[in-house]
Amino acid sequence: MSAVLSVENLVLRYPARGLFAPRPDPALRGISLNLGPGETLGLVGESGSGKSSLLRAILGLIPYESGSIRILGEDWRQLSAAGLRRARQGVGVVAQNPFLSLSPRLTVAEILAEPLLARGDRAGPALNGQCAALLSRCGLPPDFLNRRARALSGGQAQRVAIARALALGPRLLILDEPTSALDVSVQAQILNLLADLKAEMGLSMLFVTHNLKVVAHVADRLSVMRRGEIIETGLATDLILAPRESYTRDLLGFGLRKPKALA
Amino acid sequence: MLEIANLSVTLPSRRGPLHVLRRIDLSMAKGQIHGLIGESGCGKTMTAMALLGLLPEGAVVAADRFRFDGDEVAGRVKTLRGRRIALISQDPAAALNPVLTIGRQMDDVIRSHHALPRPERQAKAVDILAATGLPDPQNLLRRYPHQLSGGMQQRVVIAQALATGADFLIADEPTTALDVTVGAQVLRLLRDLVASRGLTVLMITHDMDVVAETCDRATVLYAGISVEEGPVGALLDHPRHPYTQALLAALPDAAPHGARLAAVEGSIPPPTETLPGCAFAARCPHATAACAAPPPLRNAGGQSWSCHLELP
């Protein structure tokens, strides 16, 4: 089966800050990763590790120096404007803070309708029904359609953000710290929801976070990033039991329920 | 060191009184790190604000006992804050002034607490910065906050707290804005300072890993009520209150890989509600008709918790 997302030897360097400033070191130093259909890849790293740069490059928001990124087999840099518009429908994105990513002026119905209307769907009862279906799939009753984002709790708002990301039927869901702004009990609800969606829809997920323990639970495979490189990658269940890198051990060895191998 | 019994704080609002703290019991011994655990809206920060005398205007405070180091807190909050009690907040970048050097910001604190000539104040600043593990403190005095990493900024904030001479620190989510490994270093520093300087720390956090790593004892808050208290080992290994149990069971590493997590359905009762019975009853898997009445306080193995359930 072909990969949903494949990144090969990606090098990304931000431009120098001034005319005579030295060329900065690359933010990504040859990243390679693969994500298969229905697979969840957890990408773990601290601030400055290059997670966000990698995400932005994958989404085509910043140019990269060398290497390649293919999403559902396509290199977005080769696509026409119309082709890119279509290709982007295959990727849904959920950001960390739902209150920043949802417009406070719009109702939930308007938020969910926006991607559908942008695709060219007609407004009407069919579209409203689709919005209600998206919402219920994410565990919220239809009476939430008339609420505004600021009237939602953090967990409810994140469910709306996930529903919006699913609106155009993506094959790949990119999750950027989707539970970091949430309480523990709400985080559990969202992680359960993501597991359900993955099982029902066969979605591939790229789950980016600084919290190894959270992503280790939901991911099939894990990659640990540090200073622009992937320093360790493997099956989540293996990596947690026997991390090779001392940095990974540091991440796992903090707090409650330390893995037995580290105790 | 700190003795709080049945503390309540009510704020006026257009929708009627807001019960932000309903029944807080908190007792802390000198030289300990005591965790205050709970989810957003449970009253962690409000408890700290009550202690710092920084409650919003119009707040009605009532308590059976509210003592700091043996004396009543009421009426002398302003002499405690900054002299005996200092706050370390969540976001060090927000706590520091971006347009003043570290030296100036350290000096502001030292000058307001110690009548010393300038060179001695500077030497004191260097000493205290060094005590927080910051390298080359002399050079640091000329730097601005944005030139420091998050971990270094938080060490500067801790240094400022120490510079006041306070012996009781309130650390409000001190590592939430930091990376895990950096946060671990900051917590180690706090523990070392507690040991070397005899400080007492109230550690406000929602993170059970932080509690497990740093605290001696901890109190779990729910809807403005302290529902369980005990030594950290027992509390985390054998939680007695159903809410503490639910909180620990919802952690991603509590379930086997990929299995469904035990999410607590429902949400915290709003502060507008008065809660005559158990506050957690509406979400509790063990709730019975008895839970409509105030729950009794139970004790076992150094833990205390308020719940109608008998221990099995």
SS (H, E, C) A69-127: EEECCECHHHCCHHHHHHHHCCEEEECCCHHHHCCCCCEHHHHHHHHHHHHCCCCCHHH
Pairing of strands A66-71, A5-12: antiparallel
Share of chain A above pLDDT 90, in %: 68
Question: The CATH number of the domain where B221 resides is what?
Answer: 3.40.50.300
Task: Say if B284 falls within a structural domain.
Answer: yes
CA angle, residues B182, B49, B189, in degrees to nearest 5:
25
Q: Is the pLDDT of residue B19 over 90?
A: yes
Residue type, B184: A
User: In chain A, what residues touch B251 (CB-CB under 8 Å)?
Assistant: 184, 188, 213, 256-257
Mean pLDDT over each residue of chain B, to the nearest integer? 92
Predicted confidence (pLDDT) at residue A262 exceeds the cutoff of 60: no
The answer as to whether B158 is a domain residue is no
Domain membership of residue B139 (yes or no) is no
**Look-up of token digits 């910051």:** B134
Tell me whether residue B89 is in a domain: no
Number of domains in chain B: 1
Closest partner residue to A213 (CB to CB) among B40, B181, B252 is B252
Rounded Cα distance, A181 and A154, in Å? 8
How many contacts (CB atoms, under 8 Å) link A and B?
Answer: 93
Tell me the residue range of the domain where B53 lies: 2-84+166-306
Domain-embedded: residue B121: no
pLDDT of residue B26: 96
Q: Measured between CB atoms, does B297 come within 8 Å of chain A?
A: no
Q: Is B257 on the interface with A (CB under 8 A)?
A: yes
B267 to A153: CB separation less than 8 angstroms, yes or no: yes
Per-residue pLDDT band for A96 (boundaries 50, 70, 90) equals: confident
Interface mutation target, options A256, A257, A258, A260, chain B, most CBs of B under 10 Å: A256
Does B70 reside within a domain? yes
Beta-strand relationship, B71-72 and B65-68: antiparallel
pLDDT category of residue A1 using cuts at 50, 70 and 90:
low
pLDDT value of position B205: 93
Please give the full DSSP string across A186-201, using - where no structure is assigned: HHHHHHHHHHHHHHHH
pLDDT tens digit sequence for B145-161: 999 999 999 999 999 99
Q: How many CB atoms lie within 10 A of CB B291?
A: 20
Check A185 against B250: CB less than 8 A apart: yes
Flag whether residue B99 sits within 8 Å of chain A, measured between CB atoms.
Answer: no
Confidence of residue A261 (pLDDT cuts 50, 70, 90): very low
A190 to chain B nearest CA, in Å?
9
Instruction: Kindly state the DSSP code that residue A56 receives in the 8-state scheme.
Output: H
Res. A260: pLDDT tops 60? no
Picking from A263, A212, A205, the residue whose alpha carbon sits closest to that of residue A239 is A212
Of B257, B264, B267, which to mutate for an interface test with A (greatest number of A Cβ within 10 Å)?
B257
Residue % of chain B over a pLDDT of 90: 75
Nearest by CB to residue A256, choosing from B180, B236, B250, is: B236
User: B240-269, pLDDT tens digit by residue?
Assistant: 999 999 999 999 888 888 888 988 878 888
> By mean pLDDT, which of A17-21, A117-121, B61-65 is the weakest?
A17-21
Indicate whether B11 belongs to any domain: yes
Alpha carbons A186 and A135: distance in angstroms, whole number: 17
What's the CA gap between B263 and B296, in Å, rounded? 26
Using the beta-carbon criterion (under 8 Å), do B208 and A210 form an inter-chain contact?
no
In chain A, % of residues over pLDDT 70: 97
- Residues from chain A contacting residue B184 (CB–CB below 8 Å): 250, 254
pLDDT score recorded for residue B65: 93
Instruction: Indicate yes or no: CB of A46 within 8 angstroms of CB of B182.
Output: yes
Rg (CA), chain B: 21
C-alpha–C-alpha distance, residues A205 and A191, integer Å: 12
Give the chain A residue nearest B233 (alpha carbons).
A256
For residue A263, what pLDDT band results from cuts at 50, 70 and 90? very low
Mean pLDDT of B174-179: 87
